[in-house]
Structure 1
């Protein structure tokens, strides 16, 4: 669900964002389904769905994750709008993304989110430079959103709602809810949440594709739409998903499916 757009998050989209704290190694991350303790690194990105509490800051990867995810795209828009030259804008954007990775390597902190940003920016830079069209800096992100939209809808039609599969993996739980006749309410929650993400990706396409088709004259508006509908919309989607799946009712349904054995 990262949105799964690597150029605008740490995605996502089902997002693998994990900037972490500089002092906290990966092994300090709490087990799925357990809230982070004083000595634990917080759950980041989609992993917040496995926790008992929700944090918008953790959902977007913290302040550092926010900066690493949005700054390359912001720099591209600002430079291109100011000087109307494609290559300087591409070089500036790629340089910012690379610096973010180098800083993490020097500090020996997890590079997942920063590296995903480099990958997304790199594809955009190559695509735009080969075609000579500034709007193609964002073409890859549009295709990614289209793929997630179609994939989410297809997973529902196949009886395997993508959100349910992802959450079960994050919580290390069996996917018995797919066939258990007593898990109807839980299946419906997973289905609603998956439709939510299909709608989120669809909304991005509905807004951004018409702007993209206007060409380089609308790059400023396209870049702004990408930023506004990137991490903020991703975090909102995670929060609504967590409300559906992390509420007392949803967790009670999980416990009914996996009762605690008597001691």
Structure 2
């Protein structure tokens, strides 16, 4: 004869089976199905993807640690931005044929885009590189001067130096708005009278001076080399000295930004 006390319902056996499940810091939620109760611990969410602003080169200055290699764009970034100029100079020195010399770096730049597409990597940076190489190649080809390949870069640095310098004179530090946007405050750092905002404003002023010095130095060094027709020297400045100087400026920017309190400290109190 079977006694009722000997019979176990499915739910009872399930509770007995899971009675020794260790407790955890997170709540355990019961899930019922087909007469059983299974205890399932919540799955921790994956780490959020890094914001696009922080994955940029300037965004590297916002981290707790400074990654020089990441700031320079990594191996791929350095190759895509510097190898075309090297190819142009080497090809021109070897052949003295301007047509071949401007086509070679263009082929490499297009190849870099194709590789990104095959590997399903964002092709936008490489497409920008193709545009810059095409402009540089056009300057060299239509002028017939090899040093003109570097003229777009010289003009760009000169323009940046003028714009950033004017922003300093007007007391609207250009890099302040860039860093403010990356840190989540586009303009309150300039208008707020909160002590933290005032300190932030002074820091942004210093950062803007540093970037102005970089742009001005590039232009001051390259303009005489361009006027003298020193193509090889211009390539060395771009390929070797350029990344080193840029990395140093990013590092100095990081040193200044990391000391700043969070923007929320003054955004909570508006003047």
What TM-score range do you get, normalising by the shorter chain?
A: 0.7 to 0.9
Deviation per CA, 1:157-207: give whole Å up to 9, x if none: 222211111111112224211022222221111011111111101111111
Question: Aligned residue for 1:139?
Answer: 151
Question: Aligned residue for 1:194?
Answer: 208
Deviation per CA, 1:129-161: give whole Å up to 9, x if none: 111111111111111001111111112222221
Do 2:62 and 2:257's aligned partners in 1 also have CA atoms closer than 8 Å? Answer: no
- State the Cα distance separating 1:62 from its structure 2 match: 1.1
Distance 1:168 1:48 in 2: 14
1:213 and 2:213 aligned:
no
Distance 2:241 2:179 in 1: 23
Which of 104, 117, 121 aligns to 2:129? It is 117
Distance 2:212 2:96 in 1: 35
Do 2:81 and 2:129's aligned partners in 1 also have CA atoms closer than 8 Å? Answer: yes
Question: Aligned residue for 1:251?
Answer: 261
Q: TM-score, normalised by structure 2?
A: 0.75
Distance 2:142 2:49 in 1: 41
Q: Which moved more, 1:157-166 or 1:135-144?
A: 157-166
What SS class does the counterpart of residue 65 from structure 2 fall into?
coil
Distance 1:168 1:32 in 2: 15
What SS class does the counterpart of residue 118 from structure 1 fall into?
helix
CA RMSD of superposed structures (Å): 2.2
Q: TM-score, normalised by structure 1?
A: 0.78
Do 1:32 and 1:51's aligned partners in 2 also have CA atoms closer than 8 Å? Answer: no
Question: Aligned residue for 2:141?
Answer: 129
Q: How many residues align?
A: 221
Do 2:82 and 2:238's aligned partners in 1 also have CA atoms closer than 8 Å? Answer: no
Q: Unpaired runs of 5+ in structure 1? A: 1-27, 34-41
Question: Aligned residue for 2:43?
Answer: none
Larger radius of gyration: 2
- State the Cα distance separating 1:75 from its structure 2 match: 0.9
Deviation per CA, 1:223-257: give whole Å up to 9, x if none: 1112123222112111111111122xx135x3532
Question: Aligned residue for 1:30?
Answer: 50
Counterpart mapping for 1:1-263 below 5 A? 29-31=49-51, 43-181=55-193, 182=195, 183-215=197-229, 218-247=230-259, 250-251=260-261, 254-258=263-267
Greater RCO structure (CA 8 Å; 6+ sep):
1
Question: Aligned residue for 2:29?
Answer: none
Do 1:43 and 1:51's aligned partners in 2 also have CA atoms closer than 8 Å? Answer: no
Do 2:226 and 2:234's aligned partners in 1 also have CA atoms closer than 8 Å? Answer: yes
- CA 1:125–1:151: 2 relative to 1, 3 Å: same
Distance 1:259 1:142 in 2: 43
Do 1:145 and 1:201's aligned partners in 2 also have CA atoms closer than 8 Å? Answer: yes
